[in-house]
Amino acid sequence: MSGGMISKTKAEPNLTPLLDIVFQLITFFMLVINFASDNYDQRVNLPDAGSARPVEDDTRIAEDRLVLNIDSEGRLLQGEHAQGIDEAIQTIRHQADLVKLGLRAAKVKFDPETGTLPTTIILRADKETNFGSVLGIIKACQSQGFRKFALKAMIRS
Amino acid sequence: MVRRKKKSEMEGPEVPVAPMLDMAFQLLTFFVLTYKAAPVEGQFVMNLLPPQPATSTAAAPSEASAANDLPATLRTLPVVLQADDAGRLAQVSIADMEVASDPASLAKELDRHLLDPDAPFDQTLIKIDPNLRYAELMSIIDAFTEAFIRAKKEPKLSFDELKGDGG
């Protein structure tokens, strides 16, 4: 210190580039984050399959879909509740009625004789469940007029 | 035009960046903590007709019938999957012939049927033991789909329950 004067120089780092990077990171995480999880049920462990086709976003939006989750015991998962086959049949019937109601409201031609519904059933079944349980759900859907099915699997990398 | 600006004119008001940076870091922390990579799910799309006699259960679209004059029974490759008590795949039969269930043998046998230009098969009906684990079934569906793709044919799979008497 010369002359007895106290230096009051403040070191001010330039924070603007740092802020730029942080905002870019925030933007990245905001874009890739998935809040809704799109009907993924964590209780269902899907089987692996290498040739399963990835679902395209435009198909996902355009298609009328009904997602059915089946746990390892072969029960249909509805929220927190696991339904046995009898209760599951009632649920599927109710869903089919809602689809038919929607078709009538939209004035879409629907032939009650053939009874084919345009909705795709997305079947997410646990890999430990047996085929008999899955077939029970499929038959219940078929009896209500659902014909299009998509069996979900994890794509092996 | 002569540009003359004093140094004092260049300096604007100082905006405190530090609070904004604090908030940005908080937001960043939130997104980093809540981020979870979405699982990569795929699907096998099928048109499954309601339960019918086995001869006509195959999910063949009408245009395929028009393209091929053979009846659906002759164009359908019959497959039977049997399970053991634990639900594991015990036996695979393709066109009434028993095949080893390992992926390589299965792929070889499927190629023999599907890649042969004289073979009429363009679809398959899989009869499945109800006790079979879903994961085992999906591995078979996977093998069939890959075989159809290798044969440059649209994968047409349908399945039915294997009854106690074998069909």
Please state the domain extents for chain A: 39-155
Spatial contact of A99 and A117, defined as CB atoms under 8 Å apart: yes
Q: Which of A134, A68, A111 is nearest to B133 (CA)?
A: A134
- pLDDT band at B153, cuts 50/70/90? confident
The bridge status of strand B123-128 relative to strand B76-83 is parallel
Average pLDDT over every residue of A89-95: 92
Q: Does B143 reside within a domain?
A: yes
Range with the lowest mean pLDDT among A54-63, B55-64, B138-147? B55-64
Cβ pair A126, A46 in contact under 8 A = yes
Q: Show residues of chain B in contact with A125, CB under 8 Å.
A: 134
pLDDT per residue as tens digits for the range B55-106: 443 444 444 444 456 666 677 888 898 888 888 888 888 888 888 878 888 8
What is the pLDDT, as a whole number, of residue B62? 44
Residues in B closer than 8 angstroms to A26, CB to CB, are: 24, 27-28, 31
Q: What band does A34 get if pLDDT is binned at 50, 70 and 90?
A: low
| DSSP class of A57 | H
CB B21 within 8 A of CB A19: yes
Residue B121 inside a domain? The answer is: yes
Q: Chain A contact for B84, CB < 8 A?
A: no
In sequence order, the 6+-apart residues with CB closer than 8 A to the CB of A70 are: A44, A76, A77, A123, A124, A125, A126, A129, A133, A134, A137
- Domain assignment present for residue B49? The answer is no
Range of the domain at B133: 75-161
pTM of the model: 0.71
Q: What is the pLDDT of residue A70?
A: 92
Q: Strands A146-155 and A117-125, how do they pair?
A: parallel
Nearest-CA residue of chain A relative to B18? Answer: A15
Instruction: Tell whether B134 is covered by a domain.
Output: yes
Question: CB within 8 A of A23, min separation 6: which ones?
Answer: B24
The region, left, alpha or beta by phi > 0 then psi within -120 to 50, assigned to residue A9 is beta
Give A84→chain B minimum CA distance, Å. Answer: 17
Number of domains in chain B: 1
Give contacts of B 96-125 with A, CB under 8 A.
none
Distance CA A67, CA A119 (A): 10
A107/A150: higher pLDDT: A150
* CA nearest neighbour of B54 among B106, B119, B124, B120: B124
- Distance between CA atoms of residues B87 and A131, nearest Å: 9
Q: What is the pLDDT of residue A29?
A: 85
Determine what percent of chain A is predicted with pLDDT higher than 90.
18
Inter-chain contact A50–B146, Cβ cutoff 8 Å? yes
Q: 28-67 in A: which are within 8 Å (CB) of B?
A: 29-30, 32-34, 37-38, 40, 46-55
pLDDT of residue A3: 47
> Between β-strands A65-70 and A117-125, what pairing exists: parallel, antiparallel or unpaired?
parallel
Q: Which of B42, B47, B132 sits opposite A49 (nearest CB)?
A: B42
Q: What is the mean pLDDT of chain A?
A: 82
pLDDT at A15 over 70: yes
CB contact under 8 A, A26 and B24: yes
Residue B58 resides in a domain: no
Q: Decide: residue B99, CB within 10 A, 0-12 exposed, 13-18 middle, 19+ buried.
A: middle
Percent of chain A residues past pLDDT 70, beyond the cut: 81
CA distance B116 to chain A (A): 22
pLDDT single digits (tens) A73-89: 989 998 888 888 899 99
Half-sphere exposure of A23 (CA within 13 A, CB side): 9
Residue B62 belongs to a domain: no
Tell me the nearest-neighbour CA distance from A31 into chain B, angstroms. Answer: 10
Given this model, what pLDDT does residue B77 score?
Answer: 83
In this prediction, residue B149 carries a pLDDT of 86
User: Within 13 Å, how many C-alpha atoms sit on residue B83's CB side?
Assistant: 22
Whether residue B154 lies within 8 A of chain A, CB to CB, comes out as: no
Q: What is the mean pLDDT of residues A106-131?
A: 83
> CA-CA-CA-CA torsion for B145, B61, B95, A138, nearest 10 degrees?
70
Q: Can you tell me the mean pLDDT for B42-54?
A: 70
List, as ranges, residues 20-39 from B with C-beta within 8 Å of A.
20-21, 24-25, 27-28, 31-32, 34-36, 38-39
